Amino acid sequence: MKKLIVIILLLLNYYVYGQVVDTSQLSLKLDLLKAPVSPASNLLGFAVSDIDKPTDVSDFMVSLQSATGAFTKLPTNYAIDIAPFLLFSKDTGKSRKLNSGNNIRQNLVLSFAYKNPDSTETTLNKTNAYAGFGFKVSILKGHYDKNTIRGFNKIQHVKLKAIQDEVLNDMSKLQEEMDRDPELVAMEEKRRRMFLDADGKALAVDKKLAVMQTLEYKKIDVAINEAYLKLATELAQDKYDDTLKKVASTFQVERIGWSLDLAGGISAEFVNKNFDNSRVHNAGLWISGGYAGKTGVSILGLARFLHNPDQVVPKDSVTELANNTNWDAGARLIYSKPQSKFSASLECISRWSSAAAVGQTWRLVFNADYALWDNQKLTFSFGRNYDGTIAKDGNLVAALSFLTGFGNRRK
Amino acid sequence: MAKAKKAAKKAATKKAAVKKAAVAPTVLNEAAAELNSTILNTVYVVDDSNNEVTLEVIAGEDGQQSDMDITLDNKILADKIPDSFPETAIGTNKKLQRKTLRIRVIITDVLPDDSNVTSLTIILKGGGLDATFPLGKTVGQNGSAQYICKIEFL
């Protein structure tokens, strides 16, 4: 059955050229029943690849500096997602092990976006500026099926271990070299002498502990650690980085069990780019949750609220500017196995619109995709759209595309 | 008289408790923590006693794979072990004096959906003061962090 579908898709394919990011981003386009990863950017129409995702404070500052021309101007188009508890936390101990409380802390993502449309903008008003704020949090994430991980990834574990062993051999040589650095040796000797009395004998324990509390000791300890870090950075060779990343990326597992995601966002429109004159541009709230089973079959439900003030909505035979609020509710049945290249889903969504001419409508779509290679994926979507302008007859082939990418995979 | 003795004893106990509380039970590596670092070069205080010092090293989080080497001067305590190093006696205070502990760990993030924050926690007990040295680094998806640590027993 799978082969038949693939053959049909191959026969009917057409090509879409371009820089493809990763396959998860491709599938996002079809996942209508899913809370957006970055709500603020989603509300202002940013592409997923345009969103900065700093992993540490330095990255964050570089990103901010670059977007604002070294803090001299407002950015033109800027979208950023930050995980505040991971970005600014100094808690690196055992307490970060997963549990329900930490799960939410680890997951919380705040998204910020600012758009100053230029002449190429087609959807937003070019004379205005826009800013958005959003959040996403996974309240329940499910859990990994440990047996599946062990079984499927045994070979990858062995491969990764072999490379890590090589890295450890290199690190051993590196540390030997670092420990021979004359400047470091001198500083360490100075620190060592602080634990000796005038006669060169070791101090008593309480005196040693008192030494460690002195400003002089703390200063030299910081200096030694900075020197050690500098040496490690200068001498380290990253020759295994790409290999490690390649092997690590081959691990494929999915979570099973209950999941619940909550996301929300609001964006403001600044009329004539004047910050004293603003109004709500749009706002949204997404709640999605469901159960993923061991067999690869999962069911997801979604409730969504989207508010668009001053949107063009149909009224009788004409259109008018009015507040348009959509309430969506739906469900999605998914078949997707961790190591399988094939996945399929059937989704049904019902929409209640505040625009009288639109009223209540619905959408039913079947999605299927087959990963040919790492960077290439066949996708197929067929169904009835709730957008009356496109699917007046009630049925349509929504999309059939062969997506292929050139160049390196996004890192 | 007995009542006064009892009160004096109670006061002395209270004073001792206050003195004990004034000494923090844990020493954190402030220098390394401020650097959010994968590097540690510090000192662990030992005395002349025959009390055993224990070492425990906790590497990685859920969804990460680690590999670890530990040496004490030239003696190998752990040779490329894939998990954390359990609490183990590594020698008496007396024997450890002027020796150097070296710990090298590589942690790779293999499950991108889990935390991308790698961490290494070194716990030493039985010396002048029990000490915990937490280190950590956030890596990109499928990224690796290399930890290099050196602790001198003085």
Whether A410 is covered by a domain: the verdict is no
> How far off is chain B from A93, nearest CA to CA, in Å?
6
Is B43's CB within 8 Å of A191's CB? yes
For residue A163, pLDDT over 60 is answered with yes
Confidence of residue A410 (pLDDT cuts 50, 70, 90): very low
**Smallest CA–CA separation between B88 and chain A, in Å?**
18
Residue type, A155: I
Are A143 and A41 in the same domain? yes
Lowest mean pLDDT among A1-15, A212-226, A228-242, A283-297: A1-15
Residue at A84 is within a domain: yes
Check residues A249 and A202 and name the one with the higher pLDDT: A202
Is the predicted pLDDT of residue B8 greater than 70, yes or no? no
- Residues A211, A284, single domain; the answer is no
Give the tokens for residue A141: 């994430």
The whole-number pLDDT of residue A148 equals 58
Look at residue A389 and tell me if it is in a domain: yes
Strands B75-81 and A318-336: unpaired
B115 vs A94, A96, A236: nearest CB? A96
Size of interface A-B (CB pairs under 8 A): 167
Q: Within a domain: residue A409?
A: no
A29 or A181: which carries more pLDDT confidence?
A181
| Together in a domain, A158 and A233 | yes
Residues 250-269 of A with CB under 8 A from B: 251, 253, 255
Q: Is the pLDDT of residue A354 over 50?
A: yes
Nearest to A164 by CA among B115, B95, B64, B91: B64
Residues A141 and A178 in one domain: no
* Same domain for A287 and A167: no
Q: Which long-range contacts (CB under 8 A, 24 or more apart) does A169-172 make?
A: A170/A237, A170/A240, A171/B69, A171/B104, A171/B106, A171/B146, A171/B148, A172/B69, A172/B104
- C-alpha distance from B112 to closest chain A C-alpha (Å): 8
**Of A92-101, A200-209, A243-252, B59-68, highest mean pLDDT:** A200-209
For residue A411, is it within any domain? no
CA distance A212 to chain B (A): 9
Task: Output the CA–CA distances (angstroms, integers) from residue A118 to A76, A128, A129, A268, A291, in the order listed.
Answer: 9, 10, 10, 17, 43
Same domain, A75 and A179: no
Is pLDDT at A19 greater than 90 in this prediction? no
**Closest chain B residue to A222 measured between Cα atoms?**
B31
Average pLDDT over residues A291-298: 82
Can you give the C-alpha Rg of chain B in angstroms? 20
pLDDT band (50, 70, 90) for residue B83: confident
Task: Specify the pLDDT at position A396.
Answer: 35
User: Nearest-CA distance from A106 to chain B in Å?
Assistant: 7
Q: Which of A247, A265, A298 is the last residue of a domain?
A: A247
Question: From A138, which residue of chain B is nearest by alpha-carbon distance?
Answer: B113
In chain A, residues 133-172 whose CB comes closer than 8 Å to chain B: 141, 144, 153, 156-157, 160-161, 164-165, 167-168, 171-172
Name residues 322-381 of chain A within 8 A of B (Cβ).
Answer: none
Q: Which of A160, A205, A225 sits opposite B32 (nearest CB)?
A: A225
Q: Which residue of A has its CA nearest to B40?
A: A225
Q: How far is A79 from chain B (nearest CA, A)?
A: 18
pLDDT category of residue B24 using cuts at 50, 70 and 90:
very low
Considering only the beta carbons, identify the residue of B40, B65, B139 that sits closest to A157: B65
What range defines the domain where residue A29 resides?
A: 2-152+252-404
Q: What is the mean pLDDT of residues A299-318?
A: 77
Q: Does residue A107 belong to any structural domain of this protein?
A: yes
Angle at CA of residue B93, ends B41 and B26, nearest 5°: 55
Domain-ending residue, one of A205, A228, A247: A247
pLDDT digits (tens, 9 = 90+) for A364-395: 878 777 776 655 667 777 778 766 554 433 33
Side chain identity at A337, as an amino acid letter? K
Residues of B in contact with A178 (CB under 8 A): 148
What is the model's pLDDT at position B122? Answer: 92
Would residue A205 count as lying in a domain? Answer: yes
Q: Average the pLDDT over B68-84 and give the result.
A: 90
Domain end marker among A232, A247, A262 = A247
* Optimal mutation site among B67, B74, B85, interface A, most CBs of chain A within 10 A: B67
Write down the pLDDT at residue B119. Answer: 86
Query: Domain check: are A159 and A235 in the same one?
Result: yes
Q: Tokens 């033109």 correspond to what residue?
A: A76
Is 50 exceeded by the pLDDT of residue A286?
yes
Partner residue facing A232 (CB), from B32, B42, B148: B148
Task: Kindly state the average pLDDT of the residues A174-196.
Answer: 91
> Is residue A95 pLDDT above 70, yes or no?
no
> Which residues on chain B are in Cβ contact (under 8 Å) with A167?
67, 106, 144, 146
Structural domains in chain A (count): 2
Chain A nearest-CA distance from B15, in A, is 18
> Do residue A20 and residue A56 come from a single domain?
yes
Q: How many CA atoms lie within 13 A of A145 on its CB side?
A: 19
pLDDT of residue A62: 78
- Considering chain A, what percentage of its residues have pLDDT values greater than 90? 8
The residue in chain A having the minimum alpha-carbon distance to the alpha carbon of residue B153 is: A192
Long-range contact pairs involving A318-327 (C-beta distance under 8 Å, separation at least 24): A322/A355, A323/A354, A324/A353, A324/A354, A324/A355, A325/A353, A325/A354, A326/A351, A326/A352, A326/A353, A326/A354, A327/A303, A327/A351, A327/A352, A327/A353
pLDDT score of B27 more than 50 = no
Residue A30 confidence class, pLDDT cut points 50, 70, 90: very low
Assess whether A264 and A386 both reside in one domain.
Answer: yes
Give the closest of A98, A222, A248 to B110, CB-based.
Answer: A248
Chain A residue with CA closest to B26: the answer is A209
Lowest mean pLDDT across A68-72, A294-298, A352-356, B26-30: B26-30
Residue A92 lies in a domain: yes
Nearest residue on chain B to A195, alpha-carbon basis: B154
Which range, B13-27, B89-103, B109-123, is most confident? B89-103
Domain identity same for A148 and A159: no
Q: Is residue A140 domain-shared with residue A237, that is, in the same domain?
A: no
Confidence of residue B33 (pLDDT cuts 50, 70, 90): very low
Residue A76 shares a structural domain with residue A180: no
- Per-residue pLDDT at A388: 56
pLDDT on residue B55: 94
